[in-house]
Structure 1
Amino acid sequence: MAMAHAQRHPRPRHPWIALTAAAALTAGSMLVLAPQSSAGASVREGANQDVDVEKSPGAVRAPAGSPVAVNGQLELCATRLCNAQGKAVQLKGMSTHGTQWYEQCLTNGSLDALARDWQADVLRVSTYVQEDGYETDPAKFTRIAQRVIDQAVARGMYAIIDWHMLSPGDPNENTQLAKRFFTEMAKKYANQPNVFYEIANEPSGVEWSEIKSYAEEIIPVIRRYDPDGIVLVGTRAWSSLGVSEGSDESEVVDDPVDADNIMYTFHFYAADHDDAYLRTLSRAADEIPMFVTEFGTQKASGDGGNNFTMSQKYIDLMKQKNISWTNWNYSDDSRSGAVFKPGTCDGDKWTGTGVLKPAGVWIRERIKA
């Protein structure tokens, strides 16, 4: 049950100090397709080129012209994400906030707006493990996640099933809970081409070897039911590829997870994470498949002033290298990183820019672009 608005005061997004050194949809809502022979070039494909996305008779068919109808089951082509036609794609969309606080921001109206008005390709559905989340009532939070994922599927968007472990930072602390969660999710969505499985949001304070070991334990749980769904693996130091703990992408490049059809995640907050982080993402994307499942234009707390100049550098790089992304976050939290103005989720107005904070206006323009 949604909390009263005055009670929605979850703690800051990240309890850490960032290091700064070193859509029924219209045809216009489909994702950017980039020919593999021309990195950075983009075209839009017509809705009359829909593919058969049903993996089995049990799959829900995507609406004509929607991102999933046009692109079907995604797969990896070397280090790039490709559609069923073998073309490199870049997904752009939003991440939810924690559903224990902001379930009321995820309605038919708000998701219609995301799919149609924003023309988003992907929704990341964040299920917090701690902080009054999944561990308190696994059945409840599984139902919530599945309800929102089903809404994304019905609109022809891709959906990221985000196991939002944050504190403790060692994903192995929640292995048994993760196995339960992903068993239920993989069973339900095995026949849907829409879903990604993000198995560890932001590992921290733990070596890459421990994160890798966790991934190699969880991935077979998913593969037992869904051999095709792409798995997203969090990286060290709050999914910074180790940069926020003094490392870099080489630890993953040199010792990748022993599994197929996986990508690695990177998170950044532009007011804290400068060119050193940007260069790390750029180098990594040339070596391993990368997906930016979370970023903000402000500080790592999800609050503070927006650094749109640095954010645009990341947007340009991700476009150039076909790195898909979801922005944090699709809620009316009081912080600057939540796209809606406070109180929006208590009403029924979702479209246009009048309900948006500056970060929301900025990111909506870049999703639509």
Structure 2
Amino acid sequence: MMLKKLLTGLLVFSACALATPISEHGQLSLKGFDVVDKNGQPYVLRGMSFFWDDWGFEKFFTEGAVKTIANDWGGNVVRTPIHDLNESRAKAMIDYAASAGIYIIVDYHSHCAHKNASSAQSFFGNIASYVKQKNYVHVLYELYNEPLYENCSSASDTYAGGSLTSWNTIKQYAESVIPKIRANDPNGIIIVGTPNYSQGTEAARANPITGQKNIAYTLHFYASTSGHGSLRWNVLRAKCNDFPVIITEWGVSESSGDGNFTKSMNDTWMSWIETIGVSWANWSISDKGETSAALTGGASSNGGWSDGNLTASGKYVKNLMKNLNAGKGLSSVGLSPANVDCAQLEGGGEYEFVRNGVGNFGYAIQGENYMDSSNAKTVETDAKGVQNEMYLTSQNSGSEAWAEYTLMDIPAAGYYVFYAKVGANSDGYLRYSVDEGATVDSVKYTSTGGLTTIKGFYNKIALPTEGTSNIRVSWKGDVALDVFSVVVADSADSVDLGIKAGEKIVSIGSAKTAMSDQFRFDSRNSTFMIPAGYERLSLFTVKGRKVYSVDVQGKANVELDRSVKKGVYMAVLSGAKGQKSLQFKVTE
């Protein structure tokens, strides 16, 4: 009897020891926003992405490395980037993950996949066939790593410049690949990249792929880049609208993959996404010698890494995976729950205009994002004082250099603000023009004593149309341009911008004269002069939240409601004559 009990206990112990994420949770699927397991229960994937499978870092694509992530780090997923659609490499990694009992994301690691659709169809079709043949349930398919430019080259996968890849292009590409997967794997989760380095989940949410199940969308971020912080709202909007998002790549570093590792910014991000319950893979398993790499130089390609083989990034992410995947709470990794109440999206707090990823409006434009340029080069530096690793500099101190960008999602025609950070050896002017001269202006900068000392400044800029504009920034001399950002004016910046009470900041374009004469605001106690043809006046905070709306049809004057607090706002008139906007400051 005692022997029987002992054997039963050993059998139970053996079963527990052999339990893996795959054996416990089986085929994953999507239920609204959530990834759910075979029992329909929410299941969060937390794991590691390998590096590009070239440059020598494919040395880590080994069974030992995968098992170390699964067993020592507690990861339940790995992501395998396949840049050249190497089927044998992808299948080997799929087998390694199966052996380790964890899930795997097979990623076409391209910035130009839409120009190689036929090869992608063949690749993913064959991978799905292999999954069927092996009776696997642990494979997720990532169709497009980070879409970038519409006119990129499929041959060299280069950053060719031009317009950013539109969501319509990405969607059409995905819709051509999905049937090839579904022919053999009707249930596997398929993950679709989104515009602008896979930051454009809002563009996808506005026009999702239909007629298919288990389709998720990609969000990428780098936690130590301040400009990526607003992407947290994209995650919350997705959650609150049952729109499935998976973070297939994030780094502790700045967006270059290098630069600072700001722990407080990472903690803020992780508290947010863990409170919401988003699946993620961290970048990256490599010893590249950059901030986001998890391993130090010389780490074994076969895994078995000690803490001495881990970078600060590796230690931080291993701690997250090991504890959170073991079912421990946020406090076990030094985090606290974030406020992710959906009511925040209904006016309970201010947030930035939605970043849909089709362009760069409202966010910092880095050196690597310019659309076109002349006599300028992108420089990477580790010099102290440069916030972002990539910046533009003039190739020749005696001639002009320029870089052009596309701004999209402009809420309305009107005055906005640009913020620039430059380093220069002498005084000079940063000049800018919008839509080939519709707006031309300049701002003076003073010498910073060298290119590695970065100084920031603000200026007003007129954008002539709602929607899309092209902006050209030019400079002369030995100048480094680190950030050029066009933003909605913030009331905290009003003094720097020179926005004064009584100043007529009006819409530009054909209606400029009429509007400046008839639509003005001087102070809280003054009135709006409403021109004929408009029916409604709406006020928005500078971060996009509507705070006031009133019927103005047939009225000559409208007094501003006392509930509107002082600060800088955007006013929008709408009606039969269309929509007009102005920006103004409430001073009392």
Structures share fold, TM-score greater than 0.5: yes
Output the CA distance in 2 between the equivalents of 1:326 and 1:239: 14
Shift of 1:349: 6.0
Moved over 3 A (4+): 46-50
Is the CA contact (8 Å cut-off) linking 2:122 and 2:180 kept in structure 1?
no
Aligned to 1:172: 114
Shift of 1:48: 9.2
Is the CA contact (8 Å cut-off) linking 2:66 and 2:78 kept in structure 1?
no
Is the CA contact (8 Å cut-off) linking 2:108 and 2:143 kept in structure 1?
yes
Output the CA distance in 2 between the equivalents of 1:275 and 1:111: 31
RMSD: 1.9
Is the CA contact (8 Å cut-off) linking 2:110 and 2:144 kept in structure 1?
yes
State the secondary structure of the residue aligned to 1:89: coil
Output the CA distance in 1 between the equivalents of 2:13 and 2:77: 17
Output the CA distance in 1 between the equivalents of 2:13 and 2:177: 37
Output the CA distance in 1 between the equivalents of 2:264 and 2:228: 11
Aligned to 2:310: 356
Output the CA distance in 1 between the equivalents of 2:42 and 2:13: 17
Aligned to 2:45: 91
Aligned to 1:111: 66
Is the CA contact (8 Å cut-off) linking 1:233 and 1:262 kept in structure 2?
yes
Is the CA contact (8 Å cut-off) linking 1:94 and 1:123 kept in structure 2?
yes
Output the CA distance in 1 between the equivalents of 2:96 and 2:292: 23
State the secondary structure of the residue aligned to 2:307: coil
1:99-123: CA deviations, max 9, x gaps? 2231211323322211111010000
Is the CA contact (8 Å cut-off) linking 1:271 and 1:305 kept in structure 2?
yes
Is the CA contact (8 Å cut-off) linking 2:68 and 2:303 kept in structure 1?
no
Aligned to 1:150: 95
Match of 1:338 among 269, 272, 293: 293
For structure 1, which runs of at least 5 residues remain unmatched after alignment? Answer: 1-45, 51-62, 129-133, 243-248
1:246-305: CA deviations, max 9, x gaps? xxx1x3222101221111110000122443111222212322001000000111111111
Shift of 1:49: 9.1
Output the CA distance in 2 between the equivalents of 1:367 and 1:239: 23
Cα distance, 1:221–1:349 mapped onto 2, change above 3 Å: closer
Structure 2 letter corresponding to 1:177: S
Aligned to 1:122: 77
Structure 2 letter corresponding to 1:256: P
Is the CA contact (8 Å cut-off) linking 1:95 and 1:125 kept in structure 2?
yes
Match of 2:140 among 196, 202, 218: 196
Structure 1 letter corresponding to 2:62: T
Which structure carries more helix by proportion? 1
State the secondary structure of the residue aligned to 2:147: coil
Structure showing greater radius of gyration is: 2
Output the CA distance in 2 between the equivalents of 1:308 and 1:80: 27
Structure 1 letter corresponding to 2:249: E
Cα distance, 1:349–1:84 mapped onto 2, change above 3 Å: closer
Which structure carries more strand by proportion? 2
Cα distance, 1:271–1:69 mapped onto 2, change above 3 Å: same
Aligned to 1:257: 209
Is the CA contact (8 Å cut-off) linking 1:47 and 1:70 kept in structure 2?
no
Aligned to 2:520: none
Corresponding pairs, count: 291
Within a 5 Å distance, the mapping from 1:243-322 to structure 2 comes to 249=202, 251-258=203-210, 259-272=212-225, 273-287=227-241, 288-322=243-277
Shift of 1:322: 1.5
Shift of 1:358: 0.5
Aligned to 2:443: none
Within a 5 Å distance, the mapping from 1:43-82 to structure 2 comes to 64-82=18-36
Output the CA distance in 1 between the equivalents of 2:303 and 2:100: 19
State the secondary structure of the residue aligned to 1:215: helix
Output the CA distance in 1 between the equivalents of 2:293 and 2:282: 9
Report which stretch shifted further, 86-95 or 301-310: 301-310
Please say if 1:239 is aligned against 2:198.
yes
Structure 1 letter corresponding to 2:125: T
Is the CA contact (8 Å cut-off) linking 1:49 and 1:70 kept in structure 2?
no
User: Identity rate of aligned residues, in percent?
Assistant: 31
State the secondary structure of the residue aligned to 1:73: coil
Cα distance, 1:349–1:325 mapped onto 2, change above 3 Å: closer
Output the CA distance in 2 between the equivalents of 1:183 and 1:253: 26
Output the CA distance in 2 between the equivalents of 1:179 and 1:281: 29
Shift of 1:312: 1.6
Output the CA distance in 2 between the equivalents of 1:73 and 1:111: 20
Structure 2 letter corresponding to 1:89: Y
Cα distance, 1:85–1:47 mapped onto 2, change above 3 Å: farther
TM-score relative to the length of structure 2: 0.48
Output the CA distance in 2 between the equivalents of 1:203 and 1:274: 17
1:8-37: CA deviations, max 9, x gaps? xxxxxxxxxxxxxxxxxxxxxxxxxxxxxx
Is the CA contact (8 Å cut-off) linking 2:63 and 2:93 kept in structure 1?
no
Aligned to 1:185: 127
Cα distance, 1:334–1:176 mapped onto 2, change above 3 Å: same
Match of 1:215 among 167, 171, 174: 174
For structure 2, which runs of at least 5 residues remain unmatched after alignment? Answer: 1-11, 149-163, 324-588
Output the CA distance in 2 between the equivalents of 1:47 and 1:215: 45
Structure 2 letter corresponding to 1:301: S
Output the CA distance in 1 between the equivalents of 2:253 and 2:99: 32
Structure 1 letter corresponding to 2:232: L
